[in-house]
Amino acid sequence: MAKQSGLGWTTLSVDDAAGSAQAIKNDITQFDFATPRAVQDVTGVDKSAMERILLLADFSITMSGVYNVAANMSHDVFKTVSSTSVLRTVTLGIAGKSLANECLLTDYPLTRDNGGAFTFKVPGVLADGTVPAWA
């Protein structure tokens, strides 16, 4: 199998404040992540087009999901975002490939919409200077 859909993620876990990985993929309804590289413009006046070099690597993620107060699920994991300053390992896995990064989670906003849905959208950013790499 070479091509893969986004169905059937095997892993989406996030450390709780104590550093224990919690499998919360059942609570996550959508997530976006990126592994961008910074670039530096090094274009000399002798060029007629842009010239750039790659700089530092980065990682960011936003996890959206359904509020769940069951033990070791999303609320237990995210409720301490505002009161603790700990790194959290965020691990993604699909089709035998995994991506794990040490992240700082920066917010735990909750939304109750006019239909009654109670959801969250938690952003995270790379914290430890380790280049993101799929394994």
pLDDT, tens digit (0-9, with 9 covering 90-100), for 59-68 = 999 999 999 9
Task: For 64-113, write each residue's pLDDT tens digit.
Answer: 999 999 999 999 999 999 999 999 999 999 999 999 999 999 999 999 99
Confidence at residue 2, expressed as pLDDT on a 0 to 100 scale:
80
Task: List all residues 6 or more positions away from 46 whose beta carbon is below 8 Å from its beta carbon.
Answer: none
pLDDT in tens, 14-47: 999 999 999 999 999 999 999 999 999 999 999 9
Q: What is the pLDDT of residue 4?
A: 87
Reply yes or no on whether the pLDDT at 1 is more than 70: no
70, 132, 128, 76: which is closest to 104 by C-alpha?
128
Distances, alpha carbon 80 to alpha carbons 43, 64, 68, 111, in Å: 46, 17, 14, 17
- The first and second tokens of residue 108, run together, are 């735990």
Q: What are the residue ranges spanned by the domains of the chain?
A: 11-126
Residues 116-129: tens digit of each pLDDT: 999 999 999 999 99
pLDDT above 70 (res 134): yes
pTM here is 0.92
What pLDDT, on a 0 to 100 scale, did the predictor assign at position 46? 98
Q: Measure CA of the first residue to CA of the last residue in the chain; give whole Å.
A: 17
DSSP 6: S
